[in-house]
Amino acid sequence: MGRSENLGNVTREWVEAFNEAYAGRHMDRLASLLHDEVHWVISGPVDLMPFCGERRGKPAVLDMVGRIAARQFVAVSFAPELVLIDGDRASTLCRATGERAMNGRTIGWRLAQFMRFRDGKIIEYCSVIDSFDAAEQVLGHAIELDAGESLGQRDAVAV
Amino acid sequence: MLSGLSHEFVEDFRKIYAARDIAKIGLYLHDNVEWTISGPVEYLRFCGTHRGKAAVIDLLKHRIPTVLRTFRFEPESVVVDGNHIAMLHRQSSRRTIDGRVANYRVANFMQFEGGKLIKNLSLLDTFDAVEQLLGQRIQIGNSSSESSEYADVVAV
């Protein structure tokens, strides 16, 4: 981690522009906001959601957004709930919705995004979602695990 | 950045939270704190929304350790803006019943009021966490139809 000495550069407008370009797949605009050496991580099951995983460099990120993610979702939108700015870092909590390319079904998830900027461009990006829920929505049904498996006491009360 | 939480205050709190020092965490909790962990309640029984200081302390002190015990909580990003904090950590935990280790990222969005934590939302890669804690891949019933969409895609 570590806070950069280059404080005060990120603006809310940059973050909003990024969200619009990323969700809307405005590729030229998105390219202008990414650093050439961007490190990009989306936490989630790569087998089921191939846009998840780790990518390095602008071409790999643009390929993910413009080709790989587009094959799964024909349209995506982000509705920000929180936008936090702190020096060269930003974080957003968004309600994301996506229309599945396969069947037109719309699914929704909460998206945590963490970004670090250098020279006005994103050099680090990491997003986290409740991927179990997202996977169930992508599949269109609940994931049933072996009843013999337990990750907690069976007498615990769910909340 | 709006006036609000100082980075020193946030780092003090973050270290206490990372150490899971429940007594000290309690000093930061608002009486009406709302603590939500997004995830499958049927498999990670501590997920859900917990309201009130007593419920949150019970969650941190008893309910989560019943399932797993965190032994590493390394920060990757901390963003402070006004009375809000966004934190990204790499968390390592052991399943309580057998010590099996799981590593995953956790995002926390926290809101403070009068210097006390009034709201937390935790998001984590729950699919990965459940797989690691089970010690096996989750078998997806119709994954073949999903994966066939991406036959030429190489996972990274």
Region B28-47: mean pLDDT is 95
**Gap between the Cα atoms of B122 and B107, Å rounded:** 6
pLDDT at B150 over 50: no
* Nearest residue of chain B to residue A67 (CA atoms): B153
A interface test, pick of B79, B101, B119 with most A CB neighbours within 10 Å: B79
Over the stretch A135-158, which tens digit does the pLDDT of each residue have?
999 888 888 887 445 565 443 333
Report helix angle A131-139 to B126-134, nearest 10.
100
**Gap between the Cα atoms of B129 and B142, Å rounded:** 21
Q: What is the pLDDT of residue B133?
A: 87
Name A25's Cβ contacts closer than 8 Å, sequence gap at least 6. Answer: A65, A66, A69, A70, A76
Do A85 and B95 lie within an 8 Å CB cutoff? no
DSSP letter, residue A9: -
Q: What is the pLDDT of residue A3?
A: 45
Nearest partner of A130 among B36, B4, B80, judged by Cα: B36
To the nearest whole angstrom, how far is the Cα of B152 from the nearest Cα of chain A? 10
pLDDT at A39 over 60: yes
Over the stretch A68-121, which tens digit does the pLDDT of each residue have?
999 999 889 999 999 999 999 999 999 999 999 989 999 999 999 999 999 999
Tell me phi and psi for residue A117, to 5 degrees: -105, 150
For B97, the token pair is: 């019943």
pLDDT at A67 over 80: yes
Over the stretch B118-132, which tens digit does the pLDDT of each residue have?
999 999 999 999 999
**Gap between the Cα atoms of B36 and A140, Å rounded:** 24
pLDDT at B109 over 70: yes
To the nearest whole angstrom, how far is the Cα of A130 from the nearest Cα of chain B? 6
* Nearest residue of chain B to residue A63 (CA atoms): B153
CA distances for A113 relative to A70, B48, B86, B107, angstroms: 19, 21, 9, 9
Chain B residues within an 8 Å CB radius of A84: 79-81, 84-86
- Could you tell me if B109 and B86 are in contact, meaning their C-beta atoms sit under 8 angstroms apart? yes
Q: Is B4 helix (H, G, I), strand (E, B) or coil?
A: coil
**Gap between the Cα atoms of B27 and B7, Å rounded:** 18
Do B88 and A156 lie within an 8 Å CB cutoff? no
Region B128-149: mean pLDDT is 70
Name A30's Cβ contacts closer than 8 Å, sequence gap at least 6. Answer: A18, A21, A22, A62, A65
Q: What is the pLDDT of residue B134?
A: 84
ipTM of predicted complex: 0.88
pLDDT at B82 over 70: yes
Q: How confident is the model at residue A37 (pLDDT cuts 50, 70, 90)?
A: very high
- Could you tell me if A51 and A135 are in contact, meaning their C-beta atoms sit under 8 angstroms apart? no
Do B140 and A68 lie within an 8 Å CB cutoff? no
Region B121-144: mean pLDDT is 83
A71 touches chain B (CB under 8 A): yes
Over the stretch A3-22, which tens digit does the pLDDT of each residue have?
444 455 799 999 999 999 99
pLDDT at B155 over 80: no
Do A158 and B42 lie within an 8 Å CB cutoff? yes
Nearest partner of A70 among A110, A15, A27, judged by Cα: A27
